[in-house]
């Protein structure tokens, strides 16, 4: 009998290949980046060593994509770029590490979160192969700080090996977290036919620049202004740039059929961010209609939560405007852990209803 691991709100799982000894290596340092911290590697000691890192600069681990059979067969990074306390524009980085087998799935930290802790489960039979079958990743903000309340996790898993089906089952579990002010930059471990062992590569996050100095208040503050308005004949100055997202979009998803999405920046500005609202207003399938809300992070990035009540679907999606502003790409996941990709093309807004 195989036992499935229940999926938490946020956690991830990786499997192991080829060892008869469970290990949890102590922290070391590598030559990857000067400020790096190599965390514990948890699992078996078979397979060959690997190290996977997000691109240089302020790019950090937002999640993982894996293939799973009985154990996690492969792992691939999902990285995002830090802007303040959040990661934006998460993308898959690099090839699959391991041997591709079974189902492919992915999970990312919601609302721009960053990985800062890992829990790993590995097992096998005595004298045989020990492999990683589960990984939970804890999410915080891009400075490694946790939110108020219960921590958020993302999980990906294969199957736990049933002890009754083998002689002398061996299990190992371990957890490791990045040091204070560090977050995950990647993962390292060993792999062969599947992931044998895995741990985090953590990196220091630079402090945000100091706030601007306070505005000097003149001694005559409060006195009436004698001259108002602009010089005669002078054109008014430019206002804030419009939101590139506020429009109607034709969206092609990787799940279900195409639909029309209306988005609007409700308050704030495109440059500094603000709250957004939206709706899936037209689709070949009426049950696809739903609502969206979230934030525009900057001119080209938005992070949204969507609900489609009629088909009991919900999830989170990170949108990035591309090219000349007429297209976007989206990467996210549904509430039940399925990977989402959206490709959007700007359309003319729908005509007003006839009276």
With a CB cutoff of 8 Å and minimum separation 6, the contacts of 219 are none
Model confidence band, residue 347 (pLDDT cutoffs 50, 70, 90): confident
pLDDT per residue as tens digits for the range 13-68: 333 334 344 544 443 333 344 578 999 899 888 889 999 999 988 899 999 999 88
Assess if residue 354 is contained within a domain: no
Least confident range of 18-27, 110-119, 333-342: 18-27
pLDDT exceeds 50 at position 355? no
Q: Into how many domains does the chain fold? A: 2
Model confidence band, residue 224 (pLDDT cutoffs 50, 70, 90): low
pLDDT per residue as tens digits for the range 291-314: 888 888 778 888 888 888 877 778
pLDDT exceeds 90 at position 186? yes
Contact between residue 264 and residue 249 where contact means Cβ atoms under 8 Å apart: no
pLDDT exceeds 50 at position 252? yes
Residue 295 is part of which domain span?
A: 247-347
Contact between residue 42 and residue 176 where contact means Cβ atoms under 8 Å apart: yes
pLDDT exceeds 90 at position 70? no
What pLDDT, on a 0 to 100 scale, did the predictor assign at position 170?
59
pLDDT exceeds 50 at position 7? no
Least confident range of 149-153, 162-166, 175-179, 225-229: 162-166
Residue 227 three-state SS:
coil
What is the mean pLDDT of the segment spanning 331-355?
A: 71
**Share of the chain residues as helix, strand and coil, in percent rounded to the nearest 5:** 5, 50, 45
Are 183 and 307 found together in one domain?
Answer: no
What is the mean pLDDT of the segment spanning 209-228?
A: 61
pLDDT > 90 fraction of the chain, expressed in percent and rounded: 19
Give the Cα separation of 248 and 266 in Å (integer). 15
Are 270 and 170 found together in one domain?
Answer: no
Are 188 and 105 found together in one domain?
Answer: yes
Assess if residue 239 is contained within a domain: no
- Boundary of a domain, candidates 170, 186, 204: 204
**CA-based diameter of the chain, in Å?**
92
* Cβ count near 96 (within 10 Å): 16
Are 166 and 306 found together in one domain?
Answer: no
Assess if residue 57 is contained within a domain: yes
DSSP code, position 299: S
* Partners of residue 28 on adjacent β-strands: 38
* Cβ count near 237 (within 10 Å): 6
Least confident range of 22-36, 48-62, 216-230, 331-345: 22-36
pLDDT exceeds 50 at position 240? yes
Assess if residue 234 is contained within a domain: no
Q: What is the CATH number of the domain that holds 93?
A: 2.100.10.30
pLDDT per residue as tens digits for the range 126-152: 556 788 888 889 998 888 787 656 678
């Amino acid at each position: 009998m195989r036992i499935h691991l229940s999926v938490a709100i946020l956690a991830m799982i990786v499997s192991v290949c080829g060892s008869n000894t469970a290990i949890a290596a102590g922290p070391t340092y590598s030559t990857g980046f000067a400020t790096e911290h190599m965390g514990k590697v948890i699992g078996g000691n078979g397979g060959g060593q690997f190290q996977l890192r997000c691109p240089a600069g302020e790019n950090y681990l937002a999640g993982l994509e894996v293939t799973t059979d009985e154990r996690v067969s492969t792992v691939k990074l999902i990285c995002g770029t830090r802007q303040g306390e959040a990661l934006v524009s998460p993308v898959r980085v690099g090839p699959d590490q391991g041997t591709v087998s079974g189902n492919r799935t992915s999970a990312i930290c919601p609302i721009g979160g960053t990985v800062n802790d890992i829990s790993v489960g590995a097992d096998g039979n005595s004298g045989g192969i020990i492999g990683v079958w589960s990984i939970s990743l804890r999410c915080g903000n891009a400075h490694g700080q946790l939110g108020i309340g219960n921590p958020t996790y993302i999980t990906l898993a294969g199957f736990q090996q049933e002890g009754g089906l083998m002689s002398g089952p061996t299990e190992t579990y371990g957890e490791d977290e990045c040091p204070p002010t560090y977050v995950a930059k990647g993962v390292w471990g060993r792999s062969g036919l599947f992931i044998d062992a895995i741990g985090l590569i953590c990196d220091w996050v630079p402090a945000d620049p100091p706030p601007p100095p306070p505005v000097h208040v003149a001694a005559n503050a409060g006195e009436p202004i004698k001259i108002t308005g602009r010089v005669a004949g002078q054109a008014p100055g430019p206002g804030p740039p419009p939101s590139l997202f506020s429009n109607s979009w034709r969206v092609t998803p990787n799940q279900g059929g195409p639909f029309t999405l209306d988005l609007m920046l409700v308050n704030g500005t495109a440059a500094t961010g603000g709250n957004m609202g939206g709706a899936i207003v037209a689709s070949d399938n009426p049950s696809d209609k739903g609502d969206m809300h979230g934030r525009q992070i900057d001119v080209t990035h938005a992070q949204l939560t969507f609900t489609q009540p009629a088909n009991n679907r919900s999830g989170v999606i990170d949108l990035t405007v591309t090219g000349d502003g007429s297209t976007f790409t989206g990467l996210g996941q549904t509430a039940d852990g399925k990977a989402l990709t959206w490709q959007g093309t700007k359309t003319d807004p729908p005509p007003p209803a006839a009276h």
